[in-house]
Chain A
Amino acid sequence: MASVGKIARRTFLIGAAAVAGGVAVGYYYYRKPFPNPLEAELGKGEATFNPYVKIGADNTITIVAPRAEMGQGISTTLAVMVAEELDVGLDRVKVEHGPASYAYYNAAILEEGGPFAFFDESMTAQAVRSGLGVVGKFLALQGTGGSASTRDGFDKMRQAGAAARQMLIAAAAQKLGVAAADLETADGSILHKPSGKSLTYGAVAAVAAAMAPPAEVRLKDRADWKLLGKPQKRIDMLAKVTGAPIFGIDVRLPDMLYGTVKMSPRFWSRPVKADLSRAEKMTV
């Protein structure tokens, strides 16, 4: 039954997309980026480069991994993709889930929604896949599932890190009065080897974030990867071994009340009487 439900829902999505999707709204809307939700929630001295990277004046680097962490390790995986291109170690970054936002839509989650095996690389299968990826953007589902988060994030997250790094380098070049090509990055700092000068990312973050994002984002060669492709420690392990309040059930809101079903303290016996008068007097 479950799989029938799933197919019906997918059929609906595909059908709806033909009406609301690319045809009617057009390429322009498809290309237009969603606004960066982090702009609304920056801390003091913090600057944001794109929906995935925030850097504070104190060089605190925050990566947003906008998929639900359910033990599959996705918050670590997505953070590594950004950290690799940003040239920082995983131990130097803070990872947050980020707000709910269209900017975090999952394009890959629908890609395998067509009637093809994932290894089918025929032209039709590929065309349907890229078509459904476009649908993903229009529906802008911030979803986690279908083994899609890594595939969806692989380019996006690396590009987010690389773009931020390029902007930081450009800002540092300006500040030091040197050519961007002579600058290198390592562990959250920008070095100018010829003069021995260096700046932290935080020192130029505000200027860098105000710059136009690079027209062309250059990604590292696979051979230069330091983190990707290698086993990493999970960023949330410490919280999980110390009983930190990281689960839905641990959320406490102001004036929150707890309710429970009153049950008979004996197996197999039903409650005989219950005083409901106080409950019944409550206003909803």
Chain B
Amino acid sequence: MRLTVDGQSFDIDADPDMPLLWALRDLIGKTGPKFGCGIAACGACTVHVDGQPVRSCSLPVGQVNGAVTTIEGIGTAGRLHPVQQAWLEEQVAQCGYCQAGQIMSAVALLDEVADPSDADIDNAMGGNLCRCGTYPRIRSAIKKAAALKTAGL
């Protein structure tokens, strides 16, 4: 089966029931998305399918109709996405395990709402858990990213 991930096309030999997360990590080698719970309850595995955030641990790869974007596809160390830049400036991460998912949810939120309110943030980010409790910095980083994006940085 063919899968487009981060702008590149891959030919993979996967059981259509295999969760997208494992196709990405084990077959394609995209280890950015993380496994947290495996039951769509934590958000660590969040990636985009055609721009929509999905929990890749619970989405069978056979049902993916669209281009997949992972944390590795939104920016790189030399060219960070505004959300990654804001995360860096606000020093958001502690252990960092949840952050790939947090960032992907935040990117999707800002694509939809340019200047999100606290309620918008709560709504969009409620499914992403952080055991280290970095929530206050996530909130300020999202606001900073919104400003960076509007300024065209």
Q: Across the two chains, which residue of chain A brings its CB closest to B76?
A: A242
* Chain A stretch 44-98: residues in CB contact (< 8 A) with chain B: 69-73
Among A73, A237, A242, A246, the one with the most B-chain Cβ atoms within 10 Å of its Cβ is: A242
Q: Across the two chains, which residue of chain B brings its CB closest to A238?
A: B77
Looking at chain A's contact residues, the main secondary structure is: loop
A241 touches B103 (CB 8 A): yes
Q: Across the two chains, which residue of chain B brings its CB closest to A242?
A: B77
What is the CA–CA distance of A73 and B96 in the complex, to the nearest angstrom?
Answer: 11
A71 touches B94 (CB 8 A): yes
Known interface pairs A245-B31, A247-B34, A258-B26; A70-B95 also in contact (CB < 8 Å): yes
Known interface pairs A237-B88, A238-B77, A250-B31; A243-B93 also in contact (CB < 8 Å): no
Known interface pairs A71-B132, A243-B31, A260-B22; A238-B95 also in contact (CB < 8 Å): no
- A contact residues vs B (CB 8 Å cutoff): 69-73, 233-234, 236-247, 249-250, 252, 258, 260, 265
What is the CA–CA distance of A177 and B136 in the complex, to the nearest angstrom?
Answer: 56
Q: Across the two chains, which residue of chain B brings its CB closest to A240?
A: B96
User: What 6 additional pairs, Cβ within 8 angstroms, besides A70-B95, A241-B87?
Assistant: A71-B96, A234-B91, A237-B91, A240-B99, A249-B31, A260-B22
11 intermolecular pairs with C-beta atoms under 8 Å apart: A69-B95, A236-B96, A237-B88, A237-B92, A242-B32, A242-B71, A242-B75, A243-B70, A243-B100, A247-B97, A265-B17
* Chain B stretch 9-63: residues in CB contact (< 8 A) with chain A: 17, 22, 26, 29, 31-35
Q: Across the two chains, which residue of chain A brings its CB closest to B93?
A: A240
List of A residues within 8 angstroms of B95 by Cβ: 69-71
Tell yes or no: B128 within 8 A of A by CB.
Answer: no
What is the CA–CA distance of A245 and B70 in the complex, to the nearest angstrom?
Answer: 13
Q: Across the two chains, which residue of chain B brings its CB closest to A258?
A: B26
B94 touches A258 (CB 8 A): no
Tell yes or no: B84 within 8 A of A by CB.
Answer: yes
List of A residues within 8 angstroms of B93 by Cβ: 71, 234, 236-237, 240-241
What is the CA–CA distance of A236 and B94 in the complex, to the nearest angstrom?
Answer: 9
- B contact residues vs A (CB 8 Å cutoff): 17, 22, 26, 29, 31-35, 70-72, 75-77, 80, 84, 87-88, 91-97, 99-100, 103, 132
Q: Across the two chains, which residue of chain A brings its CB closest to B71?
A: A243
Nearest CB on B from A237, distance (A): 6
A242 touches B96 (CB 8 A): no
A72 touches B71 (CB 8 A): no
What is the CA–CA distance of A243 and B103 in the complex, to the nearest angstrom?
Answer: 10
Nearest CB on B from A234, distance (A): 6
A241 touches B132 (CB 8 A): no
Closest 3 CB pairs of A and B: A243-B32, A71-B95, A71-B94
Residue in B17, B29, B88, B94 whose CB lies within 8 Å of A241: B88
What is the CA–CA distance of A243 and B70 in the complex, to the nearest angstrom?
Answer: 9
What is the CA–CA distance of A239 and B93 in the complex, to the nearest angstrom?
Answer: 10
List of B residues within 8 angstroms of A237 by Cβ: 87-88, 91-93
Nearest CB on B from A273, distance (A): 16
Nearest CB on A from B119, distance (A): 25
Known interface pairs A250-B31, A258-B26, A260-B22; A243-B87 also in contact (CB < 8 Å): no
